Structure formats: C-alpha cells, structure tokens
Amino acid sequence: MRNDRIDKAMIYLLKPSRISLLVLFALMAGAFAGIAHADAPDRGVTAVGDPPPAPSTPQAAPVPEFSISPSGASPSASATPTRPADPPPPHPTPEQRLAGLTLEQRVGQLFMVAAKADGSDSSAVADLLNNHVGNIYLAGRSQAGVAATASVVETLRAAISPASSGGLPLSVATDQEGGSVQVLRGPGFQAIPAALDQGNSSPEQLRADARNWGSELLRAGVNVDLAPVLDTVPSPEFAPSNKPIGAFKREYGFTPSAVSEHGNAMAAGLRDAGVAPVVKHFPGMGRVSLNTDVSANVHDAETTRTDPYLMPFKAAIDGGLRWVMISNAYYDKIDPDHVAPFSSVIMRTMLRTDAGFTGIIVSDDLCNAVQMSPWSMGDRATNFIGAGGTMVLCADTASVPAMYTQVLQRAQGDPEFRKSVDAAALTVLQVKAGQ
C-alpha cells in the first residue's frame, strides 16, 4: 500500500506541470520517509510555502516561474520566448524628407516646367528633371489618347535619377478645363464641355462627370489638373470683352455663387478621382479686358481685398483644396505697385492670412506671358518666391536654367530668402505627402 501511494505521487508529479525537478526529488524523499500523503494532490505545489522542515529533511529549492507552454513543449523552450519582430520603420515626415534634401533639390521642387503633350521635347525635359526640377505640366495639344499620353509620362518619370529628386514623386499636371482649353484628347479622353456649359448641369451631375474626367487623367499618368477657373465675369454682356475668360466661356456663371457652386463641384469630382484640382486665377481675372498672356500692363481696377468675387476661392480653400494659381494682372485697389505674382499682400496676406490657405501657391506662366516682359527670367522667379509664392510655372524649358540658378544663388547668399525657399519646399513636400 505504501509503494502504491509513492507510485501515485510520482505519476501525478510527472505530468506536464512544469515543477522543478528539485521539488520532485524532495517530494520523493519525503514519501519514502512517510511524510507525504497520496490523498493531498496539491501538496506538491503548496509545499514550497510550508514552514521549513527539520534539518535532517532535505530542503526543496524555490520553484522557478516558467510561462505555461503549449502541450508538448519543453520547459526550456517556454523559458525563452521568441523575440517579436521589430515593427517596420515609419514613413518619414515631410520635415524629415526636407532635412534630407540638398539645397539644389529643394529649389528644384519649386519649379513646374512645360513638357509637350506629344512627347516631342521629352529629351530636353528629362535633362531638367535630372537637374532637380520636380514638377511638369503637359502643354500644347494632343489627340493621341490615354495610352500614348501615359507612355510619354512614363518615359519622363523613368528618366529621373534618385540623386536628382531625392526620391520624391513627380507632380504631373495639364490644362484639362474643357471647351477650347483641353490639352489631352483622343482615345480614352471624353470631350469636356466649356465651363459655361458645364454650369448648365446640376452640381451633382457635374461632380460625377468630373470624376470620370479625372479618372481619365489618372490613367494617363496625370495627377494634377490646372482647373477649374473660379473667376467671376460680371455679366453675359461683358463676357466677350473679357479676353482671358469670358471670350472662351471659361467662367461657370456670372455671379460668385454660381461660379462657386459649379466650379467647386468640378474640383470635388477631380478630387474624388484622385487628381488634385488647381483653382485659378486668384484674386480673379473676370473683370479685366486684356489677356496677360499676350498683352502687357493688364490691370484690374475694381477687385478689393474683401471683394465678394473672392467667395468661390474661399469656398474651395475651406473645402480642403491644396493648390491655387495666381493671376499675372495688377490689382489697383489691393497692391497697385506689384503684379500679383510679386505681391506679398495678395499671397501672404490675402491667401495665407485672410483665407487661411496652407497649400501650394503656383504662378501662372512666368516665362512666355507678355505681362512679365519687363523683368528678367531670374527676377521673375526670385520675386515670386520672395513674395510668398511656392511653385514657379514656366512654359519655356530654355528659360528654366536661368531661373533656377538665380533662385539657388540667392538662397545661398541671403538667409531671409533661404527661409522662403525652405518654407516653400516644405509646403510642396506636405502636399505631395497628402497633407
């Protein structure tokens, strides 16, 4: 009977309870001495907390604390759990990306250069991209369709070296407003009505249409649309005299509310498709008579800093829009001494402070526009960035090196201008990161 009790104790203790072998030996010794009792099955666990035995009795060692292992696992395997894998490194923030860029790379992010939509100047544009220019827009006219356009864009993307761009993505834009201002046509691209005709649709239908138009752009490799126009032309009667906007039916209506409702429906549809809209031409070109592309000394003598015609732009900004294009005109009641792209009042005060805009302020064309002819190419770029602009848009690839060089040299020698360059570059990185 005594041996039977010993056997029962040993069978119980040899089950996978993970008790120290020293405890097992101590209990076996106690069993032989008549101390242990087979009718106390928990005794093997609680004995460690009992009063110490007499000196003649072997003392059990403390029980080590092992984690409970799965059935069949050895105690030694349970005692050394597998170290969890390190989490993947987080994506760098725009601030961290900026810190990793050279000054040359930072300056390059502040330029958007024309590339012919048919790809005929791809070699010249690729040279600029490999000299740090970080953004392009497809210009001219193409009837080649989505697939051919995508091939042109892919060729340009593939030409960029990591050393040039710092690994940053390329923004690819175009002018796909509709009507007479539609750069990309052909297979896969719908014919887009002029903005004035778009205004005849309900905002809901226009947004759905714009989503389709944006999806076509995205399939072609274009992720920024230099549209919609949010300029308000005062009346149908004045429209033919308004050479840049009304004469081409680029306006969405003749009141700020109509322009805002339909123009921002177009912008929302593009965003739904994953394409960034660029509203233009702040603070508005609907009241001028001459076109800054082909005329000099173009003035708006009516628009004020608190003008109701600013409402469509403010609505777009409040809705989360991240790109605004600046007009090239003078605004006599706002800043009569500076064209808009050189005006800190228009860009820093009206856009940044009054409207709360934190995104990219892109210029209208600073290279071929006749309005800009009094200034050298380099001064056009440095004046724009110094006044608070973010991205220089240039329609002439041959003019870019002079502009880029002057911006770089001034940033190297002028600490205040360097701050403007760094702030503009950070804004570009934030928008490219989806912020």
Mind listing the pLDDT tens digit for each residue in 75-127? 333 344 445 565 655 789 999 999 999 999 999 999 999 999 999 999 999 99
In order of 61, 225, 235, 284, the CA distances from 246 in angstroms are: 95, 20, 9, 12
The burial of 401, by beta-carbon neighbours within 10 Å (0-12 exposed, 13-18 middle, 19 or more buried), is given as middle
Q: Phi and psi (nearest 5°) for 219?
A: -65, -25
CA distance 210 to 195: 11
Mean pLDDT for the stretch of residues 374-402: 98
Torsion sign (Cα): 300, 306, 309, 314:
positive
Asked if residue 30 has pLDDT above 80, the reply is: no
**pLDDT at residue number 86:** 58
Q: What percent of the chain has pLDDT over 70?
A: 80
Least Cα distance to 345 among 354, 355, 335, 337 occurs for: 335
Structural tokens at position 81: 């759990």
**pLDDT at residue number 52:** 37
CA distance 298 to 294: 10
Asked if residue 69 has pLDDT above 90, the reply is: no
Structural tokens at position 4: 């039977």
Least Cα distance to 342 among 379, 302, 293, 299 occurs for: 379
Mean pLDDT for the stretch of residues 46-58: 36
Asked if residue 208 has pLDDT above 80, the reply is: yes
Mean pLDDT for the stretch of residues 29-52: 36
In order of 83, 140, 185, 386, the CA distances from 182 in angstroms are: 58, 9, 7, 32
Torsion sign (Cα): 265, 268, 272, 273:
positive
**What does the pLDDT look like over 330-382, one tens digit per residue?**
999 999 999 999 999 999 999 999 999 999 999 999 999 999 999 999 999 99
168-200 in b/e form (b: 16+ CB < 10 A) is: bebbbbbbbbbbebbbbbeebbeebbbbbebbe
Confidence bin at 261 (pLDDT 50/70/90) = very high
Q: Cβ(276)–Cβ(282) under 8 Å?
A: no
**pLDDT at residue number 26:** 41
Torsion sign (Cα): 270, 274, 275, 277:
positive
Phi-psi region of 320 (alpha: psi -120 to 50; beta: other; left: phi over 0): left
**Residue bearing the bigger pLDDT, 396 or 17:** 396
**pLDDT at residue number 162:** 85
Asked if residue 237 has pLDDT above 70, the reply is: yes
Q: Cβ(111)–Cβ(403) under 8 Å?
A: yes
Asked if residue 10 has pLDDT above 70, the reply is: no
**pLDDT at residue number 54:** 38
Asked if residue 61 has pLDDT above 80, the reply is: no
Asked if residue 257 has pLDDT above 80, the reply is: yes
Asked if residue 233 has pLDDT above 50, the reply is: yes
Q: Phi and psi (nearest 5°) for 182?
A: -140, 100
> What pairs with residue 280 in β-bridges?
229
CA 164 to chain centre: 19
SS3 of residue 73 by DSSP: coil
Mean pLDDT for the stretch of residues 133-138: 98
SS3 of residue 338 by DSSP: strand
SS3 of residue 68 by DSSP: coil
**What does the pLDDT look like over 142-159, one tens digit per residue?**
999 999 999 999 999 998
**pLDDT at residue number 91:** 84
Asked if residue 74 has pLDDT above 90, the reply is: no
Asked if residue 57 has pLDDT above 80, the reply is: no
DSSP category for residue 250: -
Q: What is the CA radius of gyration of the chain?
A: 36
The kind and range of the H/E element at 177 are strand 176-178
Which pTM was predicted?
A: 0.80
Q: Mean pLDDT across the chain, nearest whole number?
A: 85
Using alpha carbons only, give the angle 296, 297, 301 rounded to the nearest 5 degrees: 140
**What does the pLDDT look like over 291-329, one tens digit per residue?**
999 999 999 999 999 999 999 999 999 999 999 999 999
CA distance 116 to 418: 32
CA distance 300 to 320: 28
**pLDDT at residue number 35:** 35
The burial of 422, by beta-carbon neighbours within 10 Å (0-12 exposed, 13-18 middle, 19 or more buried), is given as middle
**pLDDT at residue number 85:** 60
In order of 218, 242, 308, the CA distances from 384 in angstroms are: 30, 26, 26
Cβ neighbour number for residue 78 with a 10 Å cutoff:
14
**pLDDT at residue number 422:** 98
Asked if residue 429 has pLDDT above 80, the reply is: yes
DSSP category for residue 142: B
Asked if residue 179 has pLDDT above 60, the reply is: yes
Mean pLDDT for the stretch of residues 271-289: 98
